[in-house]
């Protein structure tokens, strides 16, 4: 080979290497804090900073579990508990009020390694509802507990109990009073949940979700969050999904499981499956979004509303947080 040919070959190789985009770090944790009418300019700078900080801290706390060799279940629970402890999100401390001016919370968690799951609904005095779901998964022969029975079980497991007043926030109380006065559904700042999906170093996927439900809900209404396969689903080798939005639609169309089924049986990747499902949901009248991870750490966060509080983190990178569609 001549010197000229050798130089040309080296130049081509260098150009080829330069044109290859750097691969993004794979995520080990993805979270959401609700989807809905979240538009740029509708959130004050100070509130936006507070929301961003809370989401980032949740991601870091969950990632710390993974980094230390902990399980995806523990990472999911830890990340969600941080969001439940904040009054900024419709879960735990920030839960909205029912027609009866009470806080009734739902939660679920699923282990992709075993297929085991735990769910609870109608929680009123347990500080962190996701802990109830986790206790059901770990220590009950059942999957789904409700109301006073769920609370009795939680207390037997030693979970922290608080007075109902712990969940009071003036903003949410004003909303239910407004809704009752007008007898119309309140326009939500967000459609109601927090959730997390994690992938640990053993390749196990877990998903969890927690919510305060809908403002002014009546008759013991239950949304999609604690319904395994609707708002929460995890399966090793496939994906983990947590949903947020108008729960009735997510239940009817079994959204979380539908995404997994499309991947499993139709060979769609997680991006195609999640986006197709959320697009189709809007065509049927359902608003909301999902977060998810596949077994390779690819992250999805599609939604069909103006915004969704969301974020993800890799094993070594900084948290990536977003709120708006663009």
Cα–Cα dist 211/192, whole Å: 6
Q: Are 240 and 207 in contact (CB under 8 A)?
A: yes
As given in the structure block, the two tokens for residue 323 are: 């709120």
Strand, coil or helix: 75: helix
User: Of 209, 208, 182, 5, which Cα lies nearest the Cα of 90?
Assistant: 209
Angle value at C-alpha 65, between 59 and 70, nearest 5 degrees:
145
Q: b/e map of 103-135 (b: 16 or more CB within 10 Å)?
A: bbbbbbbbbbbeeebbbbbbbbbbbbbbbbbbb
Judge whether 57 counts as a catalytic residue. Answer: no
Q: Which of 78, 193, 211, 244 is catalytic?
A: 193
Residue identified by tokens 């999902």 is 290
C-alpha to C-alpha distances, 2 to 5, 12, 14, 45, nearest whole angstrom? 5, 16, 19, 63
Burial 54-78 (b: 16+ CB within 10 A, else e): bbbebbbbbbebbeeebbbbbbbbb
* Residues marked as catalytic: 193
């Amino acid at each position: 080979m001549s010197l000229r040919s050798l130089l040309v070959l080296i130049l081509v190789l260098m150009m080829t290497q330069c044109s290859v985009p750097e691969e993004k770090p794979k995520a080990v944790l993805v979270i959401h804090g609700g989807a809905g009418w979240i538009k740029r300019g509708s959130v004050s700078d100070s509130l936006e900073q507070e929301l961003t900080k809370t989401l980032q801290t949740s991601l870091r706390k969950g990632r710390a579990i993974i980094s230390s060799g902990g399980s995806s279940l523990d990472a999911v629970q830890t990340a969600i508990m941080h969001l439940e402890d904040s009054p900024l999100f419709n879960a735990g401390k920030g839960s909205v009020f029912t027609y009866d001016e009470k806080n009734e919370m739902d939660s679920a968690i699923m282990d992709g390694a075993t297929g085991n799951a735990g769910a609870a609904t109608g929680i009123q005095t347990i500080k962190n509802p996701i802990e109830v779901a986790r206790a059901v998964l770990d220590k009950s022969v059942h999957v789904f507990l409700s109301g006073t029975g769920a609370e009795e079980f939680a207390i037997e497991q030693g979970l922290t109990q608080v007075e109902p007043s712990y969940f009071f926030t003036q903003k949410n109380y004003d909303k239910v009073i407004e809704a009752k006065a007008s007898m119309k559904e309140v326009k939500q700042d967000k459609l109601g949940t927090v959730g997390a999906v994690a992938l640990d170093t053993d390749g196990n996927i877990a998903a969890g979700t927690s919510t305060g439900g809908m403002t002014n809900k009546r008759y013991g209404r239950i949304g999609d969050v604690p319904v395994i396969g609707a708002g929460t689903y995890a399966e090793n080798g496939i994906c983990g999904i947590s949903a947020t939005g108008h729960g009735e639609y997510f239940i009817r169309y079994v959204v979380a499981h539908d995404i997994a089924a499309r991947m499993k049986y139709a060979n769609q990747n997680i991006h195609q499956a999640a986006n197709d499902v959320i697009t189709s949901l809007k065509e049927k009248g359902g608003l909301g979004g999902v977060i998810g991870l596949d077994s390779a750490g690819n992250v999805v966060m599609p939604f069909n509303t103006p915004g969704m509080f969301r974020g993800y983190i890799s094993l070594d990178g900084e948290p990536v947080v977003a709120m708006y569609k663009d």
